Amino acid sequence: MQIELFGSRLSPFVEKIARALQWKGLPFRLVRPHGPRDLGRWNPTTGKMPVLEIDGRRSYDSSRIVRILDKVKSDPGLFSDDPSVARRQAFVEDWSDESLYWYAMAFRWTPVNEPATRAQLLASLPALWRPLAAVILPRQILAQARAQGLARLPMDVLEEEFSYRLDELVELLGQRPYVFSDRPSAADLAIFGQMSLLRSGPTPQAAKMIDRRPSLAAFYDRVDRATAAHDSERRKESRAA
């Protein structure tokens, strides 16, 4: 079986799929974007990451991909065997993708963090494409973040609202190591992807808020350990195109 994951692991949705593949022990090749046009070539439907190709057949949208992966290899599953728990995990996965993501975008593109965010984004691309990407990508992403609304909030209000979301996460976890379960699910990987983005450097305010909640910091480390790549997979990623 030949598996290729198209996208940058800076994207929380690409990171979610990479962790799902690693959790299932499915070796894959990461294909990073070389320029702004790659996304449209990989995914003509929406122009978004991630794209997963299995034996020449491509799939889009991270929530759809995790369900496909469970059909490719059912054990370990990305949802609980209990249908009631699985539905709750799917709800939290969607909540993470549709809510936490926009908080991450708001923190990244708030004026104080925008320079570091731009630098990180451009550093992830080959040098040849950086001048064009410096004009196109930040403008597109910032426009989306501002249209959603959270990116328009002052920092103090954004931090206050985000603190509620983090407290909700603490409540969701309760005493279990993972969301509604004793093993990682798609919900945990979705949350992990967003937390990875928020802890990646340009948003120190959000990173500190996460770290001030010991149960969330411990959750992040637990998911990281459970879904870490083997050394051989890390070498493949380092050589990816």
pLDDT in tens, 112-166: 999 999 899 888 877 777 776 677 766 777 778 788 889 899 999 999 999 999 9
Q: Sorting pLDDT into bands at 50, 70 and 90, what band is 36?
A: low
**Residue 53, both tokens:** 């190709």
Same fold, 3-78+228-238 and 83-226: no
Phi, psi of 36 (to 5 degrees): -60, -25
Residue 229 pLDDT greater than 70, yes or no: yes
Q: Residue 146 has what pLDDT?
A: 80
Residue 65 pLDDT greater than 80, yes or no: yes
Q: Sorting pLDDT into bands at 50, 70 and 90, what band is 35?
A: low
Whether 50 contacts 7, CB under 8 Å: yes
Q: Residue 76 has what pLDDT?
A: 96
Query: What three-state secondary structure class fits 29?
Result: strand
Residue 8 CB neighbour total at 10 angstroms: 18
| Of 152, 178, 166, 144, nearest in space to 213 by CA | 166
Q: Sorting pLDDT into bands at 50, 70 and 90, what band is 66?
A: very high
Return the amino acid letter for 64.
R
- Please state the pTM of the whole predicted model: 0.89
For the stretch 177-198, pLDDT in tens is 999 999 999 999 999 999 999 9
Q: Sorting pLDDT into bands at 50, 70 and 90, what band is 231?
A: very low
Beta-strand ranges (E) seen in 71-219 are none
Whether 112 contacts 154, CB under 8 Å: no
Residue 78 CB neighbour total at 10 angstroms: 26
Q: Residue 230 has what pLDDT?
A: 53
Q: What is residue 229's DSSP assignment?
A: P
| Residues 6+ positions from 170 with CB-CB distance below 8 Å | 213, 215, 216
Residue 17 pLDDT greater than 80, yes or no: yes
Beta bridge partners of 4: 29, 53
Q: Residue 141 has what pLDDT?
A: 78
Return the amino acid letter for 178.
Y
How far is it, in rounded angstroms, from Cα 127 to Cα 124? Answer: 9
CATH dotted code for 3-78+228-238: 3.40.30.10
Q: What is residue 4's DSSP assignment?
A: E
Residue 216 pLDDT greater than 50, yes or no: yes
CA atoms within 13 A on the CB side of 144: 12
| Domain ranges, ordered by start, for the chain | 3-78+228-238, 83-226
Q: Residue range 199-218: average pLDDT?
A: 97
Dmax over CA atoms of the chain, in Å, equals 50
CATH architecture designation of domain 83-226? Up-down Bundle (1.20)
